[in-house]
Amino acid sequence: MDNGSEKRQTRKLGPPGRLPWELSASTGVVVFGLVITVGFSLMALLGRDPSPAEAESDPGVVVAREFSFTPERIQSGRAVALTLRNSGATYHDLWIEGVDGFSLSSHPGREDSGTVQLEPGRYTIYCSIPGHREAGMVAELLVG
């Protein structure tokens, strides 16, 4: 026993006034720089243009990005099978002007597919998100 007096132990975790999880200013700048670099790299990958080989090897695939569809002209038989592949950074959809009951929609990095029977002719496909069609998200669909 120790005469009723207790000794209190304290541990020092770092310099006075700093919590153990706090970063120095230079470490914070480095971490911030890495986050920005990784973020821009991911944006570049998600928003990349499809290569000509990618567009040619997948007939019926429409690649959406801000603010265009690739290819700009699609040819198909009467049974039109389309895939909307969203390579952009925002949500997009695909509608065929004058055709009720058919649309595709996709979040960034995803795709949606569907098939519709159409009469031979020329059709306009477009993104219905406000401002997207006006910004150039339009393509021509030739059905023969």
For the domain that residue 66 is a member of, what is the CATH number?
2.60.40.420
Give the pLDDT confidence score for residue 49 in this predicted structure. 46
Q: Is 79 among the domain residues?
A: yes
Q: Is 42 among the domain residues?
A: no
Task: Give the pLDDT of the chain (144 residues) as one tens digit per residue.
Answer: 555 555 665 555 555 555 554 556 555 555 554 445 444 444 444 444 444 444 444 668 999 999 999 999 999 999 999 999 999 999 999 999 999 999 999 999 999 999 999 999 999 999 999 999 999 999 999 999
Q: Is 76 among the domain residues?
A: yes
Residues spanned by the domain of 77: 52-143
Q: Is 67 among the domain residues?
A: yes
Identify the sign of the CA torsion 6, 11, 15, 16: negative
